[in-house]
């Protein structure tokens, strides 16, 4: 019986994402054929369709967003904290993988737009707790949105990674919390279970190990991070240097 469940879940991991992304194409296909039907075949018609390419693109983006978010919700794929076997016999492991397959490709496409409100909007739809004025810069990776919290006014730097999972002997899922008005530097890595209080700066290329607690108003840097100062008017220039300069090396 367990082998049958594994086979069914393995098939679903293929079929459901294909179906979801196929559905996302439907509005685009309908609009395209509608334009072909209404317009005559001429050079001007072709130019008109080309000029509409940005509209096609954004229509596809929003279709992807709502299609994947709808199925994540309707299939109840938001997973919970805990330690689980890395095997499809484990229900939570199956949900974790299917959730990833439905959200991650969409999130990668959104990174091409480089328009933070789009990404924040999508992350909220699929379960993340994202505050106001959160800035997600470029090619950052927010893994496990349903177990991520980011407070108002926080900035996540380019290619930074925020995780709520780690694969050891088992799959460990632990909520990660980042407070208000924080700065997470370029290429920093925030591991699962980390709690970052308000007004914290994490230096570029720094590693915050799993379960670590960063105190309010402090500056941290290094691999692993260590406290190197306090964030305030006197340290503003140095914290900016930590955020940007290390990422450019």
Render pLDDT for 158-192 as a digit per residue (tens, 0 to 9): 999 999 999 888 999 999 999 999 999 999 999 99
What does the alpha-carbon distance between residue 200 and residue 188 come to, in Å, rounded to a whole number? 13
Q: Are residues 107 and 148 in the same domain?
A: no
Of 113, 142, 173, the residue at which a domain comes to its end is 113
Q: Are residues 71 and 52 in the same domain?
A: yes
Q: Are residues 181 and 128 in the same domain?
A: yes
Q: Which residues of the chain have pLDDT under 50?
A: 233-242, 244-249
What is the pTM (predicted TM-score) of this model? 0.85
Q: Are residues 199 and 96 in the same domain?
A: no
Total domains in the chain come to 2
Residue 15: per-residue pLDDT? 96
Q: Are residues 108 and 173 in the same domain?
A: no
Q: Are residues 38 and 98 in the same domain?
A: yes
Report whether 43 contacts 50 (CB < 8 A). no
Q: What is the dihedral of CA 219, 222, 228, 231, to 10 degrees?
A: -10
CA atoms within 13 A on the CB side of 34: 7
Q: Are residues 37 and 158 in the same domain?
A: no
Q: Are residues 102 and 129 in the same domain?
A: no
Q: Are residues 30 and 149 in the same domain?
A: no
Q: Are residues 182 and 106 in the same domain?
A: no
β-bridge mates for residue 177, sequence order: 149, 195
Which domain covers residue 245, as residue numbers? 118-249
Distance of CA 158 to the CA centre of its chain: 13
Of 50, 84, 113, the residue at which a domain comes to its end is 113
Q: Are residues 7 and 62 in the same domain?
A: yes
């Amino acid at each position: 019986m367990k082998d049958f469940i594994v086979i069914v879940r393995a098939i679903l991991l293929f079929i459901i994402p294909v179906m979801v992304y196929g559905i996302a194409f439907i509005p685009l296909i309908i609009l395209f054929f509608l334009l072909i039907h209404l317009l005559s075949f001429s050079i001007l018609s072709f130019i008109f369709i080309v000029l509409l390419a940005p509209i096609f693109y954004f229509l596809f983006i929003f279709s992807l967003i709502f299609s994947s978010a709808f199925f994540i919700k309707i299939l109840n794929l938001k997973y919970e904290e805990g330690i689980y076997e890395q095997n499809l016999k484990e229900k939570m492991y199956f949900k974790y993988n299917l959730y990833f397959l439905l959200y991650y490709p969409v999130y990668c496409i959104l990174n091409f737009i480089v328009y933070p409100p789009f990404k924040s909007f999508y992350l909220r739809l699929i379960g993340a707790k994202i505050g106001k004025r959160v800035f997600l810069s470029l090619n950052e990776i927010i893994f496990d949105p349903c177990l991520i919290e980011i407070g108002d006014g926080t900035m996540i730097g380019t290619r930074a990674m925020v995780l709520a999972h780690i694969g050891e002997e088992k799959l460990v899922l632990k909520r990660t919390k980042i407070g208000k008005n924080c700065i997470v530097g370029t290429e920093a890595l925030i591991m699962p279970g980390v709690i970052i209080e308000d007004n914290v700066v994490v230096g570029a290329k720094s590693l915050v190990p799993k379960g670590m607690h960063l105190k309010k108003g402090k500056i941290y840097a290094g691999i692993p991070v260590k406290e190197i100062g306090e964030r305030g008017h006197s340290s503003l220039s140095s914290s900016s240097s930590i955020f940007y300069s290390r990422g450019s090396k």
